[in-house]
Each structure stands twice: as structure tokens, then as C-alpha cells.
A and B are shown apart, each in its own frame.
Chain A
Amino acid sequence: MSFEDDERFEQELRRAFGAEDPGEVFTQRVVNRVTVDAVRSVPPRPPARAPWWVALPFAASLVVAVGGVAWVQYARHVEEGERARTQVLTALRLTSEKLNVVRSAVIQAQELR
């Protein structure tokens, strides 16, 4: 055999470069990798949106809670107001009683002259 002939040499080269099929095992490995890759690339689904009326009990609870706090605060305010009013009235009564005592003493003093 001689490779001085170009055409013959190139024929041998084509045989040497002949493509070889890696077989069905290769195909399955590729398919497996593609399947795993496809699953990994799927973005996570956003949480499903619930119907609007599902939030109603929560909204109602929130309103009741806020309203309840406001009522308690109002009631305390009223109570404090009543307490203050009572204190003022008591102070006025005491003052008035003392003034009466002083008035009586002054009148007595004037009658004795």
C-alpha cells in the first residue's frame, strides 16, 4: 500500500474519520438530562389567589378589634371625666361649706359688737 496517490490516501482518511454512533444509551442519557433540565427551569408557581369573600371574616375581626379598642378608650375617657367632675363638685361643696362657716363666724362677730 502506498499513500503517494492523493485520491487513495483521502479515501483512507475518510475511512479513518468515519462517524461512529454512540448508541441508544447515549440517546437516553441526553433525554434524561434534558428532562431534568426542563423541570429545573420551570419557575415556581405563584400562590393561587383566593376569592375576595375569603378575606371578609378577617376584615370583620379587624374592624371589631379596632372598634373595641376605641370603645374601651372612650369609656375610660368618659369615666375619667366623671371622676374629674365629681372631684370638682366635691371641692366646690367643701369650699362652699367652709365659706358658710366663715360667713356664720363673721355674722356672729358683727352681732356681738
Chain B
Amino acid sequence: MRYSDAADYVIDDPARGEFRVHRDVFSDQDLFEEELKNVFEGTWVFLCLESQIPQPHDFHCARIGRRSVIVSRDGDGAVHCFYNTCRHRGATLCHTERGNRSVHVCDYHGWAYDSGGRNVDIKDRDFGCYRDEFGEENHDLVPVARLDSYRGFIFASLNPDVLSLEEHLGDARTCLDLIVDQGPDGMELVPGRTNYTYDANWKLQLDNGSDPYHLTSTHRSFMRIVHRRAEGKSANTQVESPDFQKRFAMPAGMFTFDRGHSMIWADHPVPENKPLSGTMERVRAHAGEVRAKWMLRTRNTTIFPNLQFNDSTSLVLRTITPLSVDRTEMQVYSFGPIGEPLDLRRRRVRQHEDFFNVSGLATPDDTLCYADCQDGYYNLSGDWLQGFQRGMAAVTHGPNDPARELGIAPATSVLGKYSMQNEMAFHAAYREWVRLMTLGRARDQRLAAE
């Protein structure tokens, strides 16, 4: 059966300690189409980093759900974002992921636009016998409704009716600060991209990115390889990976924020393994003692709906793009401080390749488990998942002591031992999902009534 209300697909009853998500949220084609419109085109979406387009006329092609957009820095240094489609016949303008162009010329009939999106040439216009009214029309590339950035992260919204980016991020900004402040001279993507797809809904990655519970089962072979290395049974000595099993008795927790964002955290069993540990003196001076301590913890951060960081040994930046209800594209980069000493950068690179790469020892195990879940949703629909309950009895509404230490006011907090492996961070995303889907349906009904 289909529910008339998006809110009916999520049972969220804190008073009774209940949180359930319906399987169809991951597999229903109509809900997926609504998600593209109401979630990806209804709120702020991460596009790229300012450092990916540092020079005048640099551009980067990004996706907002199914839409393709060009993020471009004009000759004066201002950043713009417009739909990647020519105003003349609609052809896609830009086919490379990034580059530098002061003028974008359409392959089809040669209309040209400058790096600010302004139309600078309509080929053979003078011979075209256009009516005067044509000259009065705007021929520039169509900009997105809202564009803003926070500490070098560029976001856009196709919906004009959204909070400011700062309000949208709220105290999740601190989670981003804990990443950006690792680089006193700024942060950079380590060159070398990984693009991959998986055969499941985009929210499988969203959840898995803040799921401490799957590590010891999905990644059992990785953990055993780490043991073998520690015991000297492996001849592979090029990568330093901590034994995360040791974390079980250590403090851990999570925060959720309004608008879908969340962060899970845990004490790091061997913080010296983190490449960051080698530059901590400067980082402490730059960011302060408390934040420096938090940077050495493992932290997985989700900025709803498409940006995730996993900061366990090295730091990974992931973007999530839905392709269809059961197919998702991932872009994954290692992220590190600008000017990082070579030995630390090498360690960062090896750790990233070992675990996070799609060619690594962990990610393929995740992607195939996502596909298994998707198959399961088709196999048995109409049921409620039981994967949103771990940690339910440990939730604090509002901030707890770790939150107060960081000076943030999360919507919910958890503090306990890592062995709890709580699933509470997922709730933020589904609460926001319900909010955006409900808003979108109300907007549609209002438009239909008009």
C-alpha cells in the first residue's frame, strides 16, 4: 500500500522511544522522484570546494540530484553557478569535470557565455533577421536560486525559499570547522579521484557513513588483516592502521542537528597513527586545545543530503549523487592540510588507499551490502526496518557534556562506550526527509489549488 503522507513512512515517537523507517523509502519509484524534487532540489546541496576553482575562469561541473550545473569563477574572482545547458537549443555546454575557460562555447550552434554566465555571442546574430523583441530577452545562462559557501565548501539550492546557508548548517558548522582547521594553511583534495556506483538507494550510503555497527561484520576481513600486520604475519609494512577493536571500551557518542546533519565520534585507540598527529603543535595553536582534542578523535560527519566525511585514520570526503531509486554515484577524495610534510602525506595516501578506495580492503564490502539491502527491499516490501534502534535508551535531547565542551547545541546527543555502536545519528536524516517531503507536497497542493 502507499501512504498519502510522506510522514507516514517514518515512525518517530521519542516519547515512546520508537523510531522506524519503512522499507519503501528506499525502493519506491514515486517516492524517489519526489525526493529528487523535494530533497535534492528543495534544500542546500554541496557542490565543490572553493579550492577546486582557485583561479579566475576555473570551473567545476557538479550535480544537484539529476541536474547538471557549472560552478565557475569569473574574471573578477566571484563564484557563480548555472544550469549546464545552452539557452539556444538546450545542449549541454560543458562535458569535462573541471578546467579553465573564460568563454564557454556551445558545440551545437556556437552561442558563447563568459565565465560569469553572461551571453557574449549569438553566432551570426546580425544576419539572423531576429525581431527586435529578441534583443530584449535575456540570453544568459540560468543561475541557480541560491549560492553560498561556508569555509570553502560551496553549496547551492535550486529552491529560493530556504534558510541562509549558515542557519541551514547550524551547529554542524562546528563539525566542518573540526575538519577545515586541521589545515592552518588551508585544506586540499589529494589528487587522484575515485568515482564509483553502487546498485542501491542513495540513503544506504548516507546511513552507512555514520554506522559504527557494521565494522566488525562487514569489514571483518580488513580487521583481521590489520591484526596480521600487527602480529608481523603480513609482509605489508607500508601502511599504519590501528586496531579498531581496541576501541570497544572507549568513550563514543553522536550528535544530531536540525536539517539532517549529524556526527558520530569515538576516542581514537592510536591517535599517533593519524597523519594529523604529526602537525598537532601548529593545529593546537591555531584551533585551541579542545578542538585539537576533538580532531584526533574519529568523527564521521554527514551534511545532509550529499556530503560526508570519515575522519578515522586519514580523512575522506565523499559526495553522494542519486542516479535512480536503486543506483547511486559516489565521488571520493582524500582530504588533507595544504603543505603537509611528505612523510605524513604519504601515510595519509596509503591509509586512504588501504581502506577508503573503491579498490581498497573495505569499500567494496560496503557497496555489495548496500545492494543486498536493496534486493531485500524488493523481496519484502511493506515492512518496517529494525535498524534505527541501537542506542535508543541512551539518547539525550539537546546537548550533553561533550557537546557543551565543543560549545554546540545538538538536537540530540549520545554518550557511552563505543561498543554501543549506536544507530541514532541516522534519525537526523529521516526527520529532515519527512520535513522536506511534507513541505514539497504542501507546495504542490498549493500550486495545484492556484
Bound together: no
Residues of A within 8 A of B (CB): none
